[in-house]
């Protein structure tokens, strides 16, 4: 099964466009977990067990694990999701990008070492640097297009030949990079006008949309701008809004409540 098939199945099985970002800051873990041997993994496991029927994907952000040398707990987390909830895809958020020979190594990191279903990548270096990822037909390649942060427009919004850089990326994704049908684009929830423009260039591509919740993106506008004609096509990520919904020993129940609310809010606009 390819990544896109797995994602399509999860959208439908759970009637959900919600992706939960597993970005566990060791400083913010509930006290009840701090004495555990693998507290980050235990935190993730509890969140995953509480939300697996409510989501279409999980997205661990590798920086949170790399900062504290917890690659083993990232691997435990991904292994656990793949073994326990085999219908839910795992997107490794890593935003990798380098020359071809190095990109091969990054593809091995995401797809072989961690066995993620998809990985986020940065297009700044060009097509040849994306190829080692794109060639993995069974895996998803989630390419940064228009990001959710305040300064995203600084380079991405520069116009060339009458078209912003992020639309050049969208156009390359549609015309050139999707030869294995495994491309997704990142477009931030904080940029609904840009999201609509990308959807116009790429009517069928799945889009990963971060930036609802803590970053302030508007769910109604995201759905209005980005939904595909079939009512799917979006993977709407919330990290802090879900995983830190509660701080006490009931954090998993609080995460479930927050994920339910986001799923229902999204479905209300579909």
Residues forming the site for its own copies (CB under 8 A): 23, 25, 61, 63-64, 66-69, 71, 93, 95-100, 102-103, 105-106, 108-109, 112-113, 122-129, 144, 147-156, 158-161, 165, 168-169, 172, 210, 215
Min dist CB 172 to its own copies, Å, is 7
Residue written as token pair 């219908």: 87
Residue 75 CA, chain-centre distance (Å), reads 17
**Residue placing its CB nearer to its own copies in the complex, 81 or 145:** 145
Q: In the bound complex, what is the minimum distance in angstroms from residue 270's beta carbon to its own copies?
A: 27
* Euclidean distance between CA atoms 83 and 170, whole angstroms: 34
| Contact call for residues 55 and 88 (beta carbons, < 8 A) | yes
CB-based contact 65:92 (threshold 8 Å): no
The DSSP bridge partners found for residue 209 are 236
Based on DSSP, count helices (H) and strands (E) in the chain, helices before strands: 12, 10
95 flagged as catalytic: yes
The residue among 50 and 198 lying less far from its own copies, judged by its C-beta, is 198
CB of 127 to its own copies, least distance (A): 5
Dist. CA 14–CA 56, nearest whole Å? 7
Residue 10 or 130 having the CB closest to its own copies:
130
User: Quick check: 59 and 237 in contact, CB under 8 A?
Assistant: yes
Which candidate in 28, 36, 95, 131 is catalytic?
A: 95
Cβ closest to its own copies, residue 4 vs residue 110: 110
CB of 227 to its own copies, least distance (A): 24
* Residue 61 or 77 having the CB closest to its own copies: 61
Q: What is the DSSP string of 112-128?
A: IIS--SEEEE--TT-HH
CB of 109 to its own copies, least distance (A): 4
Query: Which DSSP helix (H) or strand (E) runs through 159?
Result: strand 159-160
SS3 96: strand
Catalytic (active-site) positions: 95
């Amino acid at each position: 099964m390819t990544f896109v098939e797995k994602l399509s199945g999860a959208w439908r099985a759970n009637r959900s466009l919600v992706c939960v970002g597993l970005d566990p800051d060791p400083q913010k873990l509930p006290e009840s977990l701090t004495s555990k041997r693998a507290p980050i993994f235990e935190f993730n496991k509890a969140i995953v067990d509480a939300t697996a029927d409510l989501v279409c994907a999980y997205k661990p952000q590798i920086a949170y694990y790399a900062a504290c040398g917890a690659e083993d707990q990232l691997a435990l987390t991904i292994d656990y999701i793949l073994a326990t909830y085999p219908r839910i895809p795992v997107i490794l958020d890593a935003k990798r990008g380098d020359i071809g020979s190095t990109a091969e190594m990054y593809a091995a990191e995401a797809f072989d070492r961690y066995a993620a279903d998809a990985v986020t990548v940065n297009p700044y270096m060009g097509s040849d640097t994306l190829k080692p990822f794109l060639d993995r037909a069974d895996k998803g390649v989630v390419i940064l297009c228009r990001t959710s942060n305040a300064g995203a427009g600084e380079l991405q919004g520069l116009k060339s030949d009458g078209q912003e850089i992020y639309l050049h990326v969208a156009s390359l994704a549609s015309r050139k990079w999707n030869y294995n049908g495994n491309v997704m684009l990142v477009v931030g929830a904080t940029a609904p006008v840009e999201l609509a423009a990308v959807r116009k260039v790429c009517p069928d591509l799945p889009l990963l949309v971060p930036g609802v919740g803590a970053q302030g993106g508007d769910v109604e506008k995201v759905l209005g701008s980005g939904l595909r004609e079939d009512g799917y096509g979006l993977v709407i990520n919330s990290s802090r809004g879900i995983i830190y919904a509660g701080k006490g020993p009931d954090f998993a129940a609080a995460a479930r409540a927050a994920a339910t609310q986001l799923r229902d809010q999204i479905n209300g606009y579909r």
